Structure 1
């Protein structure tokens, strides 16, 4: 069974999270933001953190604005989407993900390595094709057989 996708993005400034999530309606969800290390970029200089620490329940409209209307540099990122009016929490394992209301997990490690888990299988296919269209490297499905990740965390 397909669990998610993995791929590599360029290790450079950009708006990659907005590109990656384009097929996903960010505005319909509240988000857990892990507060990992990523920065806004202005005049080719790293500025303020993209997210000011751990956030439980960022409105998707706000998140979409941040991710699609800014340039930033990702080092580590941990985002999890929950339907509006559901409890937003930081789930730690794939098994917790399956039992939770969380619908999507997006993790970025070392500026380039992206993992996305998604419960909606049609949307997962759309995210996969979107990654290919954007020219990301090593795009592949994560399955029950090849998933070596033990924690849904970037640390």
Structure 2
């Protein structure tokens, strides 16, 4: 399998850059894996002790990632995202279930 990547250089300022980038691709068709990030939430243009993506939310459906990025004020230092087509995930899951059923047939 080949990996493809895209890098964006964003201004060194507050903004909703992640949602602006996602708007140009069919984000809702993917599950997103957030490998690493440093996206600080803001309150009145001041850093909080919270991050945009919680540790337990490392895999998100596209609409949830977009809505989270669109509806919050944040300062993005970096983020590494990986996109997986939902169809592939569903097909792989069904194949795995079928293999498990076949293995446990008595």
User: What are the within-5 Å matches in structure 2 for residues 8-27 of structure 1?
Assistant: 8-27=9-28
| CA distance 1:44–1:38, shift in 2 (3 Å) | same
TM-score normalized by the length of structure 2: 0.67
CA contact (8 A) 1:35 1:53 kept: no
- Rg (Cα) greater in structure: 2
TM-score, normalised on structure 1? 0.48
2:53: which partner in 1? 51
Partner of 1:29: 30
User: Partner of 1:40: helix, strand, or coil?
Assistant: strand
**4+ runs deviating over 6 angstroms:** none
What is the root-mean-square deviation in Å for CA atoms of aligned residues?
A: 2.1
Partner of 1:41: 42
Other-structure match for 1:65: 67
| Separation in 2, partners of 1:86, 1:31 | 13
Give 1:57 deviation, angstroms. 2.8
SS of the residue 2:12 aligns to: coil
How many Å separate the matches in 2 of 1:84 and 1:23? 18
Gaps of 5+ in 1: 88-155
Displacement of 1:21 in angstroms is 1.8
Inter-CA distance 26–7: structure 2 relative to 1 (3 Å threshold): closer
Give the length in aligned residue pairs. Answer: 85
The alpha carbon displacement at 1:51 in A equals 1.1
Larger helix percent: 2
Structure 2: runs of 5+ lacking an equivalent: 90-106
Distance 1:45 1:10 in 2: 18
